[in-house]
Chains A and B, each alone.
Chain A
Amino acid sequence: MAGFSVRPRLQVSWQSLFTALMFVFMYLPIGVLALYSFNESRYSAGWEGFSLRWYQTLFSDARIFAALQDSLFVAFCAVGISAVLGTLMAIGLAKYRFPGKPLYRGISYLPLIVPDIAIAVATLVFLASVAVPLSIWTIIAAHMVFCLAYIAVVVSSRLLGLDPNLEEAALDLGATPFQALVKVLIPQLAPGIISGCLLAFVLSMDDLLISSFTAGGGANPLPLEIFSRVRTGVKPDINALSVVLILGSGLIAAASEYIRYRSERKTQTK
């Protein structure tokens, strides 16, 4: 066994130092952003004293709040509808065999694979060709495409780990197929549906390209507002906004991991 580093030991290996360095790499920019959001100075990188003025600027910025509202509205609508469609799709794909299934499944994976820019372009061309005026509703329609694809993937992986006998038992005991679905299958899928929705929510709130191409003049989601401001350099109030948003997404991530952890423990103890 001598000289073998596969088993955990207390000695410090170069891999552990390197990993620590990479953790710094991952968190340094976020930390720097947070630090500078409290810096008095507007332009200089030097520290010129603690200040909350950028948070004051941020919270009195009506444009940012309007943009945040647009983003939240888009994300809630798109994720809400996609939760239903995506879950049905995942169940349908697991349950049924039909001709053209590989094609259906393939198309459902496309939003995960095809770059956003190509999807954005295609959606714009389509909307223009059917002469639908761009608005917040076209953003929602476009976001639903990737939201339902991601939700379906997460729900599918949860479906794989489920006991198919439970649904059959419900049917044997006299439940209608609809009852078996709503009272037995859906509750079992709930952790997957919720983490899928959280993922889709974060992606929808983060999306720049698809929103840019489908927004028109009617709506201005947050990433568009941020992008148009930071193109021209550092803006201290955007630092403050970043800190607020990162804390928000941190909470969502924690919720998602907690749900996954709990559902994993449940299936382990069974």
Chain B
Amino acid sequence: MANPTSTRSDWLQSNLGRINWRQRLLSLVGPLAFLSPAGLWLLLFLAIPTLLILDISLVPGLRPGQATGAYGLGNYLQIFESVYLTVMGRSLFFAVGATVICLALGFPVAYWIALMSPKRWRNLLLVAFVLPLWTSSLLRAYAWITILRPTGLLNLILGALGLPTQQWLNTSVSVFIGLSYSFLPYMVLILYASLEKLDVRLLEAASDLGATPQQAFWRVTIPQTLPGIAAGSLLVFITSLGDFVVPTLLGGASSMNVARLIYNQFLGPTRNWGFGSALSMVLILAVSLAIALLLRYGDRASVSEPHQ
């Protein structure tokens, strides 16, 4: 079966293959040098840990120190007990509420800075508005305790005006105040990026064609900035959904949300790692779902640089 031509081509092919392999190996050095250190770290401290909590979330009744148990969906079914359903519902309520408030407060601010303020102040105004993001989120939530506590500034002012003082701290109201205070800058940042790109000529065209400013706003501005609105809303939604500090400091015992519930399964009085892991997986799933929706329908560009 071995005729000369075929052996020759075999030889050529096998040698070419070897050269290819060598080149391939050499071409791997660059990517490996750049990407493997961070990649290994993310694999070790992010990817594997996440798979691990997925694993133990599927073992009902696992206690710390216990190595294994039988697989089952018990931890996930436990979430459907009414106590925990209330907590999940409350987390959603906080997140949706904070998103709506941030959108309502953030849109006029971003609109004014992006389109109506003097041009050379715009960058400075935006930077000034988001500056509090650089300070500790813990301290920003704490600052509201001073204002909202029973003997705090708000009640002091209300009392001085002759108005009835109220219990603000440890209510849903103070959680909403805290969440919208914490995440309003994100909303303004993303809406600004979106409004800045708005083609003003479209608005002029609308007005030339006889649209009132209101009509132009609802039919031109809003549709044009919809991707930014979606991106900003989902960012605020996600960060509020998983927030721990604000509900703990401002919400008191009645504002248990999913992050606090998870915390308690690990560091609090009730130690149930399996249930805590199941809750974490549900939280991760909810966030991934929101991101998937955003990537499908939203504005990628404005999410890829959330901070600068």
Chains A and B come from one and the same complex: yes
Chain B residue contacts of A154, Cβ below 8 A: 307-308
Q: Are B184 and A22 in contact (CB under 8 A)?
A: yes
Chain A residue contacts of B223, Cβ below 8 A: none
Contacts beyond the supplied A117-B244, A149-B42: 9 A-B pairs with Cβ under 8 Å: A18-B109, A32-B147, A33-B142, A89-B37, A118-B262, A122-B280, A157-B304, A177-B30, A256-B134
Report Cα–Cα, A212/B262, bound state, in Å.
Answer: 13
Binding site for A on B (CB under 8 A): 30-31, 33-35, 37-39, 41-43, 45-50, 52-53, 56, 64, 105, 108-109, 111-113, 115-119, 127-129, 131-132, 134-140, 142-147, 149, 151-153, 155-156, 181, 184-185, 200, 203-204, 207, 212-213, 238-239, 241-245, 248-249, 259, 262-263, 266-267, 273, 276-277, 280, 283-284, 287-288, 291, 304-308
Q: Are A213 and B266 in contact (CB under 8 A)?
A: yes
B235 and chain A: residue at smallest CB distance = A113
Q: Are A227 and B119 in contact (CB under 8 A)?
A: no
Interface-central residue, A3, A43, A206, by most chain B CB under 10 Å: A206
B115 and chain A: residue at smallest CB distance = A6
Chain B residue contacts of A205, Cβ below 8 A: 136
Report Cα–Cα, A8/B113, bound state, in Å.
Answer: 10
- A180 to nearest B CB, angstroms? 12
Count A/B pairs, Cβ under 8 Å: 272
Q: Are A126 and B45 in contact (CB under 8 A)?
A: yes
Chain B residue contacts of A124, Cβ below 8 A: 266
Complex interface: stretch among A61-69, A90-98, A164-172? A90-98
Binding site for B on A (CB under 8 A): 1, 3-6, 8, 13-16, 18-19, 22-23, 25-30, 32-33, 36, 43-46, 84-86, 88-89, 91-93, 95-96, 98, 104, 107-108, 110-119, 121-126, 128-129, 141-142, 144-145, 148-150, 152-154, 157, 177, 195, 199, 202, 205-206, 208-209, 212-213, 223, 226-227, 230-231, 233-234, 238-239, 242, 245-246, 249-250, 252-253, 256-257, 260
Chain B residue contacts of A245, Cβ below 8 A: 135-136, 139
Report Cα–Cα, A203/B149, bound state, in Å.
Answer: 28
Main SS class of interface, A: helix
Q: Are A19 and B112 in contact (CB under 8 A)?
A: yes
Interface-central residue, B42, B47, B212, by most chain A CB under 10 Å: B42
Report Cα–Cα, A28/B129, bound state, in Å.
Answer: 12
What are 7 sample pairs from A and B whose C-beta atoms fall under 8 A apart?
A23-B128, A33-B139, A91-B34, A118-B283, A122-B53, A145-B42, A250-B135
Q: Are A93 and B35 in contact (CB under 8 A)?
A: yes
Chain B residue contacts of A238, Cβ below 8 A: 142
Q: Are A113 and B238 in contact (CB under 8 A)?
A: yes
Q: Are B136 and A117 in contact (CB under 8 A)?
A: no
Report Cα–Cα, A116/B37, bound state, in Å.
Answer: 23
- The residue that B116 contacts in the complex, of A13, A98, A110, A206, with Cβ under 8 A, is A13
Q: Are A117 and B283 in contact (CB under 8 A)?
A: yes
With A26-B185, A250-B135: A88-B35 Cβ-Cβ less than 8 Å: yes
With A25-B181, A157-B308, A208-B244: A3-B109 Cβ-Cβ less than 8 Å: no
- A118 to nearest B CB, angstroms? 4
Q: Are B41 and A145 in contact (CB under 8 A)?
A: yes
Q: Are B184 and A45 in contact (CB under 8 A)?
A: no
- B262 to nearest A CB, angstroms? 5
Chain B residue contacts of A95, Cβ below 8 A: 30-31, 34
Q: Are B132 and A108 in contact (CB under 8 A)?
A: no
With A4-B207, A117-B244: A92-B53 Cβ-Cβ less than 8 Å: no
Report Cα–Cα, A3/B217, bound state, in Å.
Answer: 13
Report Cα–Cα, A226/B140, bound state, in Å.
Answer: 12
Chain B residue contacts of A113, Cβ below 8 A: 238, 287-288, 291
Chain B residue contacts of A1, Cβ below 8 A: 204, 207
Chain B residue contacts of A114, Cβ below 8 A: 242, 284, 287
Q: Are A126 and B52 in contact (CB under 8 A)?
A: yes
Interface-central residue, A28, A114, A145, by most chain B CB under 10 Å: A114
- B10 to nearest A CB, angstroms? 29
Q: Are A117 and B280 in contact (CB under 8 A)?
A: yes
